[in-house]
Structure 1
């Protein structure tokens, strides 16, 4: 995927960004990873001040500007001392949305995941501060209620399409022996995901390697300090919400299986040290729900401006199926 860079922004947007930073932009360091087609770069002005700036318009992807606006609004409800960059400012101009954060001097974890890095991120997630009861953050069940219905959506599409569906119609249960054999069990698990995920903790809810920064060079980062100067910093909080911590843990581990560095059989293994024993039942439910979600999404048409998204979702679906089978959730 090719991201926008500073020179590709409209002059009017560039002037406004430079004015907020305080001087003419003389250096750009683009970010790596992620799916957004917008600019994501550390911009440094002539006077030495800098900011990590994200900018996107509806021309790149119709949904991305709204996602940026939601991220800006949600930052007001995040607890203080969070291992996350500080939002400095944001603005909209015509169909552009722009966010600026205090720069974090770190790098995304190298892939495949190293166990020390994965454990450090899991520990950071478990240590996130509980949001204030008056915080505007939504519940995870509310935020994802229409999303985590993948197995049910596949079953419904198959029922409508039948075995003579047109080419490209979502739904392929009839062509997949594994799905035909296990779909009823997967639906039962999926139907209980809201109970498994409901809680009062702070969730990132989009926890992938490209949304993690390690701020120390050692292979094993030190314990998180609760600030952006700690060893693990979590970025891109557009889906911040309340819920059970196991939601973030399972999503992260599923991504680690997809990216390499975590074996499918270790996700729910009592001896792997990745999840606690009391988290395993909820984790099995969420693993089934996430796998169904990605299995459904990979059947849908490509998203304009996000060419890497559907292939990623297909890999996540395959990783989830491997985890469900290897862990014995699906026999």
Structure 2
């Protein structure tokens, strides 16, 4: 089975403030009598499947600003996104939300199922087909400006800046020597792409730990905390990153109409820019109560830059 690439250290539900747990009981209409803590993702808050005395089941995630100052903002974004997207079979529906200014909590549909296995070609094909369906489901959907979506053009510009900074980057930035010496025109590709209209709502965080496979095979997308406004090719590319080390990634990219339309240069520039940015962040970021995040950055950067080396006929150095 494919293990989650992102695994943080989470607060158990029993340690969530009583006022939040009381709200959950009142919202569900029955006291919680059993919990099952979930792994995956980097939030320091809880991620817990709940069972109530009357048999009601739900999933709750909750975090406070004393755990991490930024994560409540991600939860507020997810509340806004799910509120305005409404119900759909492709994502877990929002049942209720809580926000007292310090702690933010979401109660969402408890999806019966497990994470898909990306080592199984059939299950991977199901994920990619579901991602194409997600792109179609989100096309043309409007979210109000009050929902603070991540802006992909801004991110592409930052990644371009990261690529441009590599010749003078500190020696401890974990990028291969060949990338410092030869960055092709990938920064320019990213900047050109950032100038194109991007009105599509995208999930932007499709990883195995943010996917569930129902017993009947349907794929459900969860965790919308970094939902963005970006290009239609973004989610199909994100879904393929689970196997970016595999040459099959390149064949899968070529088989996607959205990615084929974007072009190989855009895909390679994305990998180079994202990988370089993560590498630089690994030397300068300050992470509060996220002890595994930096190792995750370094691993993800290495995976992406290794794919760049493969796609350009280079050997990592």
Provide TM-score, normalisation by structure 1: 0.80
Tell me whether 1:299 sits opposite 2:283 in the alignment.
yes
From 197, 212, 233, give the equivalent of 1:246. 233
SS of residue matched to 1:236: coil
Report the counterpart of residue 115 of structure 1 in structure 2. Answer: 121
1:325 corresponds to: 309
Alignment of 1:17-166 (within 5 A): 17-78=24-85, 80-110=87-117, 113-128=119-134, 129-132=137-140, 134-136=142-144, 142-143=151-152, 145-146=154-155, 148-153=157-162, 155-156=164-165, 159=168
Q: How does 1:279-298 map to 2 (within 5 A)?
A: 279-281=262-264, 282-298=266-282
Structure 1, 294-303 or 17-26: larger mean CA deviation: 294-303
Q: Is the 8 A contact 1:3 1:36 kept in 2?
A: yes
Q: Which residue of 2 aligns with 1:212?
A: 211
Query: Is the CA contact (8 Å cut-off) linking 2:113 and 2:212 kept in structure 1?
Result: yes
CA contact 1:158–1:172 (8 Å) conserved in 2: no
Q: 1:253 to 1:132 in 2, by over 3 A?
A: closer
TM-score of the aligned structures, taking structure 2 as reference length: 0.83
1:42 CA drift (Å): 1.2
Offset of residue 289 of structure 1: 3.0
Alpha-carbon separation, structure 1, partners of 2:10 and 2:148 = 32
* Displacement of 1:210: 0.5
Choose from 249, 255, 258 the match for 2:242. Answer: 255
- Structure 2 unaligned segments of length 5 or more: list them: 1-7
Give the length in aligned residue pairs: 303
Aligned equivalents of 2:163 and 2:201: distance in 1? 31
1:194–1:15 distance in 2 versus 1, CA, 3 Å: same
Contact kept, 8 Å, 1:68 with 1:97, in 2: the verdict is: yes
| Residues 179 and 132 of structure 1: CA distance in aligned 2, closer, same or farther (over 3 Å) | closer
Q: Distance in 2 between matches of 1:97 and 1:65?
A: 6
What does 1:165-184 align with in structure 2 at a 5 Å threshold?
176-184=176-184
Asked if 1:268 is matched to 2:255, the reply is: no
Distance in 2 (CA, whole Å) between partners of 1:151 and 1:232 is 33
Residue of structure 1 equivalent to 2:4: none
Distance 1:271-1:30 versus aligned 2 partners, 3 A rule = closer
Residue 329 of structure 1, CA deviation: 7.8
Once superposed, what is the RMSD of the aligned Cα atoms? 3.0
Per the alignment, residue 20 of structure 2 pairs with: 13
**Counterparts in 2 of 1:188 and 1:117: CA distance versus 1, 3 Å:** same
Cα offsets for 1:182-232 (capped at 9, x unmatched): 225332333234257x54444111111100001127xxx4xxxxxxxxx10
- Relative distance call for 1:254 and 1:72 in structure 2 (3 A) is same
* Whole-angstrom distance in 1 between the partners of 2:77 and 2:205: 14
CA drift at 1:2:
2.9
Partners of 1:94 and 1:106 in 2: CA distance: 33
Q: Distance in 1 between matches of 2:252 and 2:116?
A: 25
* Contact residue 23 and residue 45 of structure 1 kept, 8 A: yes
Say if 1:288 and 1:320, in contact at 8 Å, map to a contact too. Answer: yes
Kindly indicate whether the alpha-carbon contact (under 8 Å) linking 1:87 and 1:99 is maintained by their aligned counterparts in 2: yes
